[in-house]
């Protein structure tokens, strides 16, 4: 790769005079411990040499005063870096902050292993800081609490978003301490920063989707359920079918397999496509989906990223007898696989996708959520009143999302199919049991009625059974999958 030529820098008159004398006399000249040797019969370039702790450093420049001076400055910067590093100080602190952030993102983060959407997300997280750093020509040594506070005020009007931005900034600075860009003092200063609304504002933090749902869909008896009921799954499936050709199946399959949306949207009928890393195989020979891949972060990537947590799993396709809504997933898959393979042969669905867009390509989840899903939720009355952030930007959330169907799977598998904790974690590819308990085993609109029915059923038992004279104490078995 060709090295970028240094930009010439006009030198002061004293250096111009010294360089001129060196040319005439063919002698060396020394500036700040750097020895400059003029061109000779053996070399047409000026040579700039210095030794730091026994380590030789050298640069060359054409016989032009401005280019010689630019090389001298560049060499002095390297000298300063080596000296700072030897003293345990950040040798790269004079590097431009914007370039450092961009290089950090390009290399894939602190461990050089970012994939999927992470690089794009981090570029969005740092966008305002990069813009600020370029405009003000900030160096790494300039990063402090004041800069981060201004960055937050520019970037967001929401404490939730601010928390994310502060987190990724702290990770970046921690990496920069180890790589010679920042000091521990800079990190200690930045980690104390918190977001606050504009002065004099009566702003209140927006509530989460789940909190809003409890308020807008609750009753005097119960809070609004945060997990779709089976009836709501059916409602969502029927409405989405009006806006997307395979909407009904997409909803029922998501609710009963629990795969993430970016995993589901690359289900394929082709084993070859799966082996190339371009889709998750629906394998009816074993009644499973081989889940290993997810949608790429950008359309120009040739292959998909491995799924979240990088867990390769085979997710069971449950039989219709185990599906509360009665949708026969296995039967639908058999029909759809035949169609998808024919579409692939005809060139209208190159990846033999089970859920392609109208052009036979993988669905863009952001576009799909903003159009087809929004229409579905509006029609079902699931859009909630907008809330406004500190910058006056309004945002209207839906009661449920496509990801909520993963909540439905988690609760069904735990309460109705009798999955053990280990089985649930394996099939759903969750990180740990705490994640499942916190986010996925929530309430539905029927939870309150189920509690009342539970006690009503107990009250209907005979006095004999309640006094303990009935020898049978075995509780009813859970409805487990038949295979």
Query: Residues 58-84: pLDDT tens digits?
Result: 889 999 999 999 999 888 877 776 666
Task: Give me the CATH number covering residue 257.
Answer: 1.10.443.10
Assess whether 109 and 231 both reside in one domain: no
Instruction: Per residue of the chain (483 residues), give pLDDT as tens.
Output: 445 567 889 999 999 999 999 998 889 999 888 999 999 888 889 999 988 766 788 889 999 999 999 999 888 877 776 666 555 567 888 899 999 999 999 999 998 888 777 898 999 999 999 999 999 999 999 999 999 999 998 998 888 889 999 999 999 999 998 888 998 889 999 999 998 887 777 777 777 888 888 888 887 777 788 899 999 999 999 999 999 999 999 999 999 999 999 999 999 999 999 999 899 999 999 999 999 988 754 444 445 667 766 778 999 999 999 999 999 999 999 999 999 999 999 999 999 999 999 999 999 888 999 999 999 999 999 999 888 777 777 788 899 999 999 999 999 999 999 998 889 989 999 878 787 777 777 888 888 788 888 888 766 665 554 444 444 333 333 444 333
Distance CA 265, CA 249 (A): 12
The answer to the question of residue 71 being in a domain is: yes
Distance CA 266, CA 368 (A): 14
The burial class, CB within 10 Å (0-12 / 13-18 / 19+), for 401 is: middle
Assess whether 21 and 127 both reside in one domain: no
Question: Coil, helix or strand for 10?
Answer: coil
Assess whether 18 and 132 both reside in one domain: no
Work out the number of other CB atoms within 10 angstroms of the CB of residue 478.
11
Query: Please, which residues have CB within 8 angstroms of residue 14's CB and are 6 or more apart in sequence?
Result: none
The answer to the question of residue 201 being in a domain is: no
The burial class, CB within 10 Å (0-12 / 13-18 / 19+), for 16 is: middle
Distance CA 103, CA 83 (A): 24
Assess whether 298 and 410 both reside in one domain: yes
The answer to the question of residue 36 being in a domain is: yes
Residue-wise burial string across 286-312, b where 16 or more C-beta atoms lie within 10 A, e elsewhere: ebbbbbbbbbbbeeeeeebbebeeeee
Domain boundary among the residues 29, 60, 86 is at: 86
Helix axes 118-136, 145-155, angle to 10 degrees: 120
Assess whether 124 and 269 both reside in one domain: no
Assess whether 325 and 435 both reside in one domain: yes
Question: Coil, helix or strand for 466?
Answer: helix
Distance CA 409, CA 322 (A): 12
Domain boundary among the residues 164, 190, 216 is at: 190
Q: What is the count of structural domains for the chain?
A: 3
Q: Are 230 and 325 in contact (CB under 8 A)?
A: yes
| Confidence at residue 423, expressed as pLDDT on a 0 to 100 scale | 92
- The CA angle 470-474-477, to the nearest 5 degrees, is 140
Assess whether 322 and 181 both reside in one domain: no
Range of the domain at 75: 13-86
Domain boundary among the residues 41, 59, 86 is at: 86
The conformational region for residue 50 under phi > 0 = left, psi -120 to 50 = alpha, else beta, is beta
The answer to the question of residue 6 being in a domain is: no
Assess whether 245 and 319 both reside in one domain: yes
| Confidence at residue 198, expressed as pLDDT on a 0 to 100 scale | 76
The burial class, CB within 10 Å (0-12 / 13-18 / 19+), for 219 is: exposed
Assess whether 127 and 64 both reside in one domain: no
The answer to the question of residue 196 being in a domain is: no
Backbone torsions φ then ψ of 52, nearest 5 degrees: -120, 115
Q: Are 306 and 292 in contact (CB under 8 A)?
A: yes
Q: Are 193 and 145 in contact (CB under 8 A)?
A: yes
The burial class, CB within 10 Å (0-12 / 13-18 / 19+), for 90 is: buried
Distance CA 436, CA 444 (A): 16
Assess whether 82 and 101 both reside in one domain: no
The answer to the question of residue 127 being in a domain is: yes
Question: Coil, helix or strand for 244?
Answer: coil
Distance CA 97, CA 140 (A): 5
Assess whether 217 and 109 both reside in one domain: no
| Confidence at residue 483, expressed as pLDDT on a 0 to 100 scale | 37
The answer to the question of residue 286 being in a domain is: yes
Structure token digits, residue 9: 């820098």
Residue-wise burial string across 54-72, b where 16 or more C-beta atoms lie within 10 A, e elsewhere: eeeeebebeeebbbbbbbb
Length of the chain: 483
| Confidence at residue 88, expressed as pLDDT on a 0 to 100 scale | 53
The answer to the question of residue 199 being in a domain is: no
Assess whether 386 and 250 both reside in one domain: yes
pLDDT in tens, 255-299: 999 999 999 999 999 999 999 989 999 999 999 999 998 875 444
Q: Are 154 and 128 in contact (CB under 8 A)?
A: yes
Structure token digits, residue 332: 């639908």
CA 288 to chain centre: 27
Q: Do strands 267-268 and 293-294 pair parallel, antiparallel, or not at all (unpaired)?
A: unpaired
pTM over 0.85: no
């Amino acid at each position: 790769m060709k090295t970028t030529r240094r930009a010439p820098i006009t030198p002061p008159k004293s250096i111009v005079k010294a360089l001129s004398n060196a040319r005439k006399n063919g002698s060396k000249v020394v500036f700040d411990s750097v020895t400059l040797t003029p061109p000779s019969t053996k070399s047409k370039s000026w040579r700039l040499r210095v030794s730091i702790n026994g380590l030789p450093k050298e640069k060359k420049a054409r016989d032009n005063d401005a280019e010689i001076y630019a090389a001298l400055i560049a060499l002095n910067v390297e000298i300063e870096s080596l000296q700072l590093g030897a003293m345990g100080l950040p040798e790269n602190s004079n590097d431009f902050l914007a370039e450092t952030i961009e290089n950090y993102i390009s290399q894939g983060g602190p461990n050089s292993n970012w994939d999927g959407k992470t690089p794009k997300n981090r570029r969005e997280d740092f966008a305002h800081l990069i813009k600020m750093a370029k405009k003000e020509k900030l160096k790494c040594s300039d990063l402090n609490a004041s800069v981060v506070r201004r960055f937050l005020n520019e970037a967001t009007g929401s404490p939730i978003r601010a928390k994310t931005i502060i987190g990724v900034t702290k990770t970046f600075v921690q990496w920069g301490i180890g790589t010679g860009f920042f000091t521990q003092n800079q990190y200690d200063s930045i980690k104390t920063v918190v977001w606050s609304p504009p002065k004099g504002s009566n702003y209140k933090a927006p509530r989460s989707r789940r909190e809003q749902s409890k308020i807008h869909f609750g009753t005097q008896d119960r809070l609004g359920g945060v997990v779709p009921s089976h009836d709501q799954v059916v409602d969502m499936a029927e409405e989405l079918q009006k806006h997307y050709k395979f909407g009904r199946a997409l909803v029922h399959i998501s609710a009963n397999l629990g795969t993430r949306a970016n995993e589901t949207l690359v289900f394929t009928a082709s084993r070859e496509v799966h082996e190339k890393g371009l889709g998750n195989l629906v394998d009816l020979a074993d009644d499973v989906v081989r889940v290993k891949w997810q949608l790429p972060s950008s359309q120009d990537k040739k292959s998909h990223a491995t799924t979240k947590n990088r867990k390769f799993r085979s997710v069971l396709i449950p039989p219709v007898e185990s599906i509360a809504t009665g949708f026969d997933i296995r039967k639908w898959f058999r029909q759809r696989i035949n169609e998808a393979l024919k579409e692939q042969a005809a060139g209208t669905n190159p990846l033999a996708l089970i859920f392609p867009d109208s052009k036979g390509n993988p669905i863009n989840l952001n576009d799909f959520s903003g159009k087809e899903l929004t229409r579905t939720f509006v029609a079902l009355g699931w859009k909630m009143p907008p809330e406004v952030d500190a910058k006056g930007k309004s945002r209207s959330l839906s009661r449920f999302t496509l990801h909520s169907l993963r909540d439905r799977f988690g609760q069904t598998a735990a309460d109705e199919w009798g999955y053990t904790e280990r089985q649930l974690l394996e099939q759903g590819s969750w990180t740990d049991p705490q994640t499942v308990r916190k986010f996925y085993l929530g309430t539905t609109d029927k939870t309150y009625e189920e509690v009342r029915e539970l006690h009503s059923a107990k009250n209907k038992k005979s006095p004999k059974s309640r006094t303990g004279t009935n020898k049978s104490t075995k509780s009813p078995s859970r409805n487990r999958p038949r295979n």
